[in-house]
Amino acid sequence: MELCLEYGYTSLNKYGEELCGDKVECAVNNNYTTLVLADGLGSGVKANILSTLTSKILCTMVANDIEMSDCLETIIQSLPVCKVRGVAYSTFSVIHVNNEGEGYLFEFDNPQAIYYHKGKCMNFVRKELEICGKKVFQSELKLVDGDIVMVMSDGTIHAGIGMTLNFGWQRPEIMEHLDRTIKPYMSARCVACVLAAACNDLYLDKPGDDTTVAAVRIRKILNVNIMVGPPVDKNQDNFYVAKFMDGDAKRVVCGGTSSQIVARYLNKPLRTSFDFPDKDVPPIGFIDGIDLTTEGVLTLRRLLELSEKYISVSDLTPKTFTKTDGASMLANVLFEEATHVQFFVGRSVNVAHQGLPIDTSMKMKLVERLAANLKIMGKQVTVNYN
Model-level pTM?
0.90
Choose among 343, 340, 333, 346: nearest CA to 370.
Answer: 343
Domain of 170 in residue numbering reads as 3-219
pLDDT of residue 207: 93
pLDDT of residue 73: 83
Same-domain pairing of 242 and 349: yes
pLDDT of residue 42: 79
What is d(CA 60, CA 48) in angstroms, rounded to the nearest whole number?
Answer: 18
pLDDT of residue 76: 76
Which residues have a Cβ under 8 Å from the Cβ of 312 and sit 6 or more positions away?
none
Classify the C-alpha dihedral 171-172-178-181 as positive or negative. Answer: negative
Choose among 62, 301, 316, 98: nearest CA to 189.
Answer: 316
pLDDT of residue 68: 82
Same-domain pairing of 352 and 337: yes
Same-domain pairing of 125 and 8: yes
Same-domain pairing of 150 and 13: yes
pLDDT < 50 stretches in the chain: none
Q: Give the three-state DSSP class for 120.
A: strand
Same-domain pairing of 70 and 88: yes
Q: Which of 202, 219, 236 is the last residue of a domain?
A: 219
Q: How far is CA 286 from CA 164, 271, 272, 278, 290, in A?
A: 49, 5, 6, 18, 7
Choose among 34, 2, 37, 33: nearest CA to 22.
Answer: 37
Same-domain pairing of 245 and 138: no
177 by Cβ neighbours in 10 Å (0-12 / 13-18 / 19+) ranks as middle
Q: Tell me how many domains the chain contains.
A: 2
Same-domain pairing of 171 and 260: no
pLDDT digits (tens, 9 = 90+) for 12-55: 999 999 999 999 999 998 899 999 999 988 788 888 988 998 99
pLDDT of residue 86: 60
Q: How far is CA 347 from CA 64, 235, 260, 266, in A?
A: 40, 14, 16, 22
pLDDT digits (tens, 9 = 90+) for 98-147: 999 999 999 999 999 999 999 999 999 999 998 878 899 999 999 999 99
Same-domain pairing of 215 and 238: no
Residue 138 amino acid letter: Q
CATH code assigned at 133: 3.60.40.10
